[in-house]
Structure 1
Amino acid sequence: MVCEKCQKKLSKVIVPDKWKEGASNTTEGGGRKINENKLLSKKNRWTPYGNTKCIICKQQVHQDGKYCHTCAYSKGVCAMCGKQVLDTKFYKQSNV
């Protein structure tokens, strides 16, 4: 759960590139290099989870934010900025 302001900052869904239009798997247009050593170029690899962790439970967060989805919902705050979004005073929640 994120606030209206942070909804613009959400990352995009990964979709395969179109063939021959800037695709990363072709040699044309700056795509794949010929005879590239994959062990040396591995450091630039995309990591889906990144290095960000939740402030409360220290679980990895899948997008840039402060809280994981579970902690954000239980506290009623925005997962990215921490702004109060939902009043959870009368919610019946457990600490599991």
Structure 2
Amino acid sequence: MVCTKCEKKLGKVIVPDKWKEGASNTFEGGGRKINENKLLSKKNRWSPYGNTKCVICKQQMHQDGKYCHTCAYSKGVCAMCGKQVLDTKLYKQSNV
């Protein structure tokens, strides 16, 4: 649950680049190097669980932000910036 302002930040896709359109995983256009050592070229490797943790429950998150999805929905705030998005005053929510 993110606000409209933070929706633009979610535009990153985890699928590989399109083939031969300036992709980093092709030989043409200076993409992939031939006979490169993969252990030495791991500098910008994507990790599914980053260093960000939820402010409330301290759970590791898969995207940058302040709150995990569960805490953001229960509080009614944007998961990335913390702005109030939803009024949860009349909701019946449990902590189970």
Q: TM-score, normalised by structure 1?
A: 0.86
Contact 1:2–1:80 (CA<8 Å) still a contact in 2? yes
Contact 1:54–1:67 (CA<8 Å) still a contact in 2? yes
Structure 1: runs of 5 or more not aligned: none
Q: What is the root-mean-square deviation of aligned Cα atoms in Å?
A: 1.6
Q: TM-score, normalised by structure 2?
A: 0.86
**CA shift at 1:38, angstroms?**
0.9
Contact 1:78–1:84 (CA<8 Å) still a contact in 2? yes
Report the CA distance shift for 1:4/1:20 in structure 2 as closer, same or farther (over 3 A): closer
List structure 1 runs of 4+ shifted beyond 4 angstroms. Answer: none
Q: Distance in 2 between the 1:20 and 1:3 partners?
A: 35
Identity level (%): 92
**CA shift at 1:17, angstroms?**
2.2
Length, aligned pairs only: 96
**CA shift at 1:82, angstroms?**
0.7
Deviation track 1:20-57 (CA, whole Å, cap 9, x = no partner) reads: 22222322211111121111112321123321111011
